[in-house]
Structure 1
Amino acid sequence: MKRTYCLIAAVCMTLVVSACGPDVPPETTVSQKTEQFNELMKRPDLDQAVARYEDLYSKVRDQVTAIVPTLKWQQANPSTAASCGNDSTAVNANLRKDDAEVKGLANWMAKGNLPDAQWEQVVSAVGRIAQDYGFGGGEVVVNRPSNHEVVFRDVFNAELNFGTAVNTTLLLRTGCHLTAEAKTRGIPAPVPTY
């Protein structure tokens, strides 16, 4: 009887410890890596995508300034890069240098708020330009007096965020794209041996 209680206690402790342990992601298989890589091969490489988004960025700033000439744009933060999210984690698994990345373009800011009376006109103009670059209709995130924000997304999961409150801001984060080097190579990078 005492032995049964000890056995039950040991099993319970094992279950408790395993339930509280860290979440370990499943192993990445070669086929997952190849499948995700091949899917990203259908997209422009990161440099091509960034160049296109920079062009979009410039047109949006010019159009907003044409409607509200008092706004003067300046870069607020430099660009950033990061590994891709969950949809493409296998591509970079076990690599020393990422084959695929998401890039945050430099943020732009203009001091001051867009007048509420002009918000609809300005956001419509931004939406038309975004649509020319493959972005869908904007999703309203905030819509209150003197505080507006809308996000546009494209088929590659890039996000163009435009808003106004104390200041007017323009942000863009790309979706996941292969680096130019990886796209030129055309196949997943071999896992380094240590």
Structure 2
Amino acid sequence: MTKWKPVPRSDNNSLGFLATAIACTVVLTACSNGADPYLDNDNSREDMSLQHQWSELMQRPNIDEVVAKYEKMQKEVTEALSSELGLPQWSIGGNNSTNPGCNDFRQVDSWDAIKESIAGTTTPARISTEQWPKAVDTIKRVVAGHGFTTPGLVVDKGDFHTMDLYDGYGAKFNVMTGTEGNNTVIGVSTGCHLLPEAKQRGVPRSTATPPTG
């Protein structure tokens, strides 16, 4: 059973937010006034009933299933980059962190649905500007097979490069290289998914029949 606990925002999230600002002001990326994945402010389902939101989540894999899928994808990406670009061995830093509730499914109880950030993986080498286009092609080829085909933030500023890709559940894949640590970091954060026990129950917590005894 998946356990969750709130965790503070990491430095990588701060870098992501900074990169968003760079994208809007320096790279001249069009930034809308609508939902922003960095601010987690998607209100497109705000008028949907609990039952409609629940029904949509029931059609998704549960959180444990989707995390296993993304961890496999992350490993495939690092192996491909090492093979094609000669990057040194990757290491996983820390543990997965979970966040209760989903702003994009606000009607659903936070004990039923969560988002999870998968522990990032790092290699002690940066991808050079000359290698970056090949790295992008390699990454896109691998993650497309897992549904990550929607482009997000892209920043190319000197030796610093970062790119986001999204899947249909709102999960984000991020690669970042050329940071102060002179390394390359890959991370994945999920969209909103039900806990296994919630999906097995089949109905929202608030409407479930209490056990008798």
Bin the TM-score by the shorter chain: 0.7 to 0.9
Say yes or no: does 1:90 pair with 2:107.
yes
* Offset at residue 137 of structure 1 (A): 4.3
Asked whether the 8 Å contact 2:98–2:115 carries over to 1, the reply is: yes
Residue of structure 2 in register with 1:77 after alignment = 94
- The counterpart of 1:180, out of the listed 186, 189, 196, is 196
Asked whether the 8 Å contact 1:127–1:138 carries over to 2, the reply is: no
SS in 2 for 1:102: strand
What is the total number of aligned residue pairs between the two structures? Answer: 159
* Offset at residue 76 of structure 1 (A): 2.0
Residue of structure 1 in register with 2:205 after alignment = 189
- The counterpart of 2:148, out of the listed 132, 135, 138, is 135
Structure 1 alignment gaps of length 5 or more: 1-30
- The counterpart of 2:172, out of the listed 155, 159, 178, is 159
In the TM superposition, 1:53-64 aligns within 5 A as 53-64=70-81
Residue of structure 2 in register with 1:46 after alignment = 63
Residue of structure 2 in register with 1:124 after alignment = 137
CA–CA distance in structure 1, aligned partners of residues 75 and 96 of structure 2: 15
Say yes or no: does 1:112 pair with 2:125.
yes
Bigger helix fraction = 1
Residue of structure 1 in register with 2:12 after alignment = none
Percent of aligned positions that are identical: 28
Residues 131-179 of structure 1, C-alpha deviations (whole Å, 9 max, x = no match): 1111114334310221100000000000000111121010100000001
CA–CA distance in structure 1, aligned partners of residues 75 and 170 of structure 2: 20
CA–CA distance in structure 2, aligned partners of residues 135 and 189 of structure 1: 31
Residue of structure 2 in register with 1:66 after alignment = 83
Instruction: Tell which structure's C-alpha radius of gyration is larger.
Output: 1
CA–CA distance in structure 2, aligned partners of residues 167 and 86 of structure 1: 32
TM-score for both structures, normalised by structure 1: 0.76
CA RMSD of aligned residues (A): 1.9
Structure 2 alignment gaps of length 5 or more: 1-47
Q: Spell out structure 1 runs of 4+ moving beyond 4 A.
A: none
In the TM superposition, 1:5-24 aligns within 5 A as none
TM-score for both structures, normalised by structure 2: 0.70
- The counterpart of 2:162, out of the listed 134, 141, 149, is 149
